[in-house]
């Protein structure tokens, strides 16, 4: 059974940093692209970032480009999101999701999601 | 403002059918058959209902169906059940620059 477990969320002041992790199990992690999506009440789901199976291709939403960095460690079956210069509008539940293909954009089929980790940005 | 436009809310009675539209542009829905639909209950993991416009993952009821015409995709839920009350989101691949876009979400009420 595919399992994705996010961690690392919490309360952080504006301008500070946070690193989210997503521990994957139940599938061959390095066969698939992975994604981060966030959800804040009143704003809906928002795609944040994506990474190919071998980290060769990464994508970011304009709203986080230059501040967030996605990465993965296939040896540890883990996905990461380094979030710097956090803003109040970055506050949300952050979900990791598994693609059905090795490269983002091949399928846009994100069949497994974690339960999310909450990021709160406030002074 | 979301890249894909969905109605904010729809409602229906148990047993009825409803359709949720998702309007994009020639740069996303109109160019790629890579539209997905997700069901989201607040605080829970989103669930994939439809992928590649019309396909259903295993385990998803055939009460859920997808379609596309031009720049607009649609999700139809037939035989509405109380458990269908949730938020529904569409997404589409949008090319190498934008990559993926989501709709703003539609809240379904089963009255």
Mean pLDDT of all residues in A19-36: 97
pLDDT at B2: 63
A47 contact B CB<8A: yes
Q: A108–B51: do the CB atoms touch at under 8 Å?
A: yes
Sort A82 into a burial class: Cβ within 10 Å, 0-12 / 13-18 / 19+.
Answer: middle
Determine what percent of chain A is predicted with pLDDT higher than 70. Answer: 100
Interface test with B, best of A32, A34, A38, A45 (most B CBs within 10 A): A45
Half-sphere exposure of B38 (CA within 13 A, CB side): 29
A113 contact B CB<8A: yes
With contacts defined as CB-CB under 8 Å, which chain A residues touch B48?
A: 109-111
pLDDT at B89: 97
Cβ atoms of B75 and B66 within 8 Å: the answer is yes
Quick one: which of B19, B27, B20 has its CA closest to B3? B27
Using pLDDT thresholds of 50, 70 and 90, give the confidence band for residue B1: low
Using pLDDT thresholds of 50, 70 and 90, give the confidence band for residue A43: confident
Give the residue on B whose Cα is nearest the Cα of A50: B99
Mean pLDDT of all residues in A89-114: 93
Q: Of A38-42, B62-66, B99-103, which range is least confident?
A: A38-42
Using pLDDT thresholds of 50, 70 and 90, give the confidence band for residue B62: very high
* Model pLDDT for residues A53-65, shown as the tens digit of each residue: 999 999 999 999 9
Determine what percent of chain A is predicted with pLDDT higher than 90. Answer: 90
Sort A38 into a burial class: Cβ within 10 Å, 0-12 / 13-18 / 19+.
Answer: buried
Q: B100–A114: do the CB atoms touch at under 8 Å?
A: no
Using pLDDT thresholds of 50, 70 and 90, give the confidence band for residue A106: confident
């Amino acid at each position: 059974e595919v399992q994705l477990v996010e961690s690392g969320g919490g309360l952080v002041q504006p301008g500070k940093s946070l690193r989210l992790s997503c521990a994957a199990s139940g599938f061959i992690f390095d066969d698939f692209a992975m994604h981060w999506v966030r959800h804040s009440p009143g704003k809906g789901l928002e795609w944040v970032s994506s990474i190919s199976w071998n980290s060769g291709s990464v994508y970011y939403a304009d709203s986080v480009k230059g501040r967030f960095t996605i990465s993965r460690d296939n040896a540890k079956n883990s996905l990461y999101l380094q979030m710097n210069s956090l803003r109040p509008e970055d506050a949300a539940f952050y979900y990791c999701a598994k693609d059905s293909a090795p490269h983002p954009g091949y399928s846009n089929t994100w069949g497994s999601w974690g339960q999310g980790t909450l990021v709160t940005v406030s002074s | 403002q979301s890249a894909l436009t969905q109605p904010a809310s729809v409602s229906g009675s148990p047993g009825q059918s409803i359709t949720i539209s998702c309007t994009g542009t020639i740069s996303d829905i109109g160019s790629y058959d890579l539209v997905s639909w997700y069901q989201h209950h607040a605080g829970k993991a989103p669930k994939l209902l439809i992928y590649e416009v019309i396909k259903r993952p295993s385990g998803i009821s055939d009460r859920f169906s997808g379609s596309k015409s031009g720049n607009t995709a649609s999700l139809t839920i037939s035989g509405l059940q109380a458990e269908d009350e949730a938020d529904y989101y569409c997404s589409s691949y949008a090319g190498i620059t934008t990559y993926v876009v989501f709709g703003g979400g539609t809240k379904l009420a089963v009255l």
